[in-house]
Amino acid sequence: MNMLISDLKGGLFQYDVKDYYAILGVPISATPKDIRLRYLKLAYQLHPDTNQSKSKEEKALASSILSKLVNPAYENLYKDKLRKECQLIFSELAYRLAPELDRITLSSELAKKLLKETTNLDKIYKEAVEKIAQDQYQDLSKLHLKIAILSELNLVYLLRQKREELGKIMGTTPTVAVSNSTTTGGTVAAAATEKQEKTPVSRIDKLIASAQKYIQENNLEAAMFDLREAVKLEPNNAIVHALLGSVYLQQGNLPYARIHINKAVSLDANNPTVKEAQQKLKEKDKTAAAKTDGKKTEAKKDKKEDKDKKKKEPPKIFGIPLW
């Protein structure tokens, strides 16, 4: 029996996302050190030389899982660049699915509990992951079920995080759950539904809000990812082009910054975000011009000094000055 990543179902996998965190059994917030320690433990447990299975079939299965599931998961999470790409994919999916969270079907009780959690989201999430991870690789015939539960926990946690994040950015409040109660005699004592009004948030607004947050955190790669998606949705959005230009400015890419900021100005010159980006560009151009002028002045000075030096130096014969 072979198990491939493409064979895994449930949680994030149902959206064609490879959930390497679920495969290793670590929370999404795991550090590179946490990831490495977990991998070493699993590698020792699954490697043919150290695996405790008695049958050849079980050892072969353990070896296959190590090479086809655990090793790729470790490689994609331990390396900074690949881990950031994975997190960007998670972030993009979360923003897309967050509004649909209440309509997503969940299979595990742990995920359902996490969905209802109101005060200790991080704590309950990490405890649930740790609980499943403890014996995740004990019975390899049930491994795909354990990974599915972990990925479902990751899905709920990501969507809860993003929905709350969007609520803070856009000034909205999550809907309060329905609460019903009855007396012991079966008489309905109270039945109330309390809901807060929600302001509809468009896809483009979500991407802009996300990009602005990433820019504040100096996570320019993540901001660029969101803004490129926003440009695809609305090629003539002034704010998107202004933010893109600002990111390029921070990255030191002046030509691309100028293209997007000038585009933003042509679309809406009075927008505050556009004005701010335009001012930053002017300051950058001014600084660059000052440096260029300084270099030119220095070059002229050096040239003049060389010329004067040549004039003052007396002619020489066989290396001896004539005067």
Q: What is the pLDDT of residues 222-237, one digit of tens each?
A: 888 888 888 888 889 9
**pLDDT in 10s for each residue of the chain, 323 residues:** 567 777 888 899 998 899 999 999 999 999 999 999 999 999 999 999 898 887 888 999 999 999 999 999 999 999 988 998 898 889 888 888 888 888 888 999 999 999 988 888 999 999 999 999 999 999 999 999 999 999 999 999 999 988 877 766 555 544 434 333 333 334 333 333 343 444 456 888 888 888 888 888 888 888 888 888 888 888 899 999 999 999 999 988 888 888 899 999 999 999 989 999 999 888 888 887 776 666 666 666 666 666 666 566 666 655 566 55
- Please tell us whether the domain made up of 203-309 is placed in CATH 3.40.50.11260: no
CA gap 19, 28 in Å, rounded: 10
Query: 180: which strand partners?
Result: 191
Task: List, by residue range, all CATH 1.25.40.10 domains of the chain.
Answer: 203-309
DSSP per-residue letters across 64-109: HHIIIIIHHHHHHHHSHHHHHHHHHHHHHHHHHHGGGGGG-----H
Count other Cβ atoms within 10 Å, centred on residue 110. Answer: 21
pTM of structure: 0.59
